[in-house]
Amino acid sequence: MSHQGLIVARLYGEDLPTFASLAAATDSLTSYKANTVAAFVRELFPNGEPTLAPSSLRDIEAWYFNSSCPAVGSGGYLVPHALGFYLGEVLCHNAGFCWVVEEFAFRPGSYEIGIKKNLLHLMLTKGRRPALERNARKNSLFREYNRYAP
């Protein structure tokens, strides 16, 4: 890794949560993910559970932009985290991924939660923030799903 890359990696790691052990990180981050997704689903699907179909990612992103890109949901959860975790749930439900918690290699004691399938890992600790730039159809989460699903 280049010196510049190492600097970027260390800066990225500064914002990650720290824990005394992998077990503590797994318990905390898994609980946080579950609570965030539950609050998000209650807000967006008040009449029931989402199908977790890939097409639901389009609806989620439409809600995000129609709601003026909120940072915090009505349940107090962080919307970028909810978007990332929901994307992860859709990939796990439909494309054979599973949830993992791992220590960040460039900052011992710092951990991330994400999904993996074989050698591909997508860490979702910092969430997803769809951008309007180069996203005219407002379906970047759906495109990301298609990039990683079989």
Q: Tell me, what's the pLDDT at 137?
A: 78
94-101 average pLDDT score: 97
Domain count, the chain: 1
Distance CA 121, CA 20 (A): 23
pLDDT tens profile 133-146: 877 778 889 999 99
134 is a domain residue: yes
Has residue 41 been placed in a domain?
Answer: yes
pLDDT of residue 51: 84
Name the DSSP letter for residue 78. B
Whether 10 is covered by a domain: the verdict is no
- How far apart are the C-alpha atoms of 51 and 89, rounded to whole Å? 11
In a domain, 130, yes or no: yes
Q: Within a domain: residue 9?
A: no
108 found inside a domain:
yes
Domain annotation covers residue 85: yes
Against a cut of 0.85, is the pTM above it? yes
State the average pLDDT over residues 56-76.
91
pLDDT attached to residue 13: 81
104 falls within a domain: yes
Nearest alpha-carbon partner for 23 in 88, 87, 102: 102
Instruction: Please give the residue range of the domain that contains residue 122.
Output: 18-148
pLDDT in tens, 9-64: 787 888 899 999 999 999 999 999 999 999 999 998 888 778 899 999 999 999 99
101, β-bridge pairs:
113
* Residue that is written with structure tokens 């005394």 in the block: 20
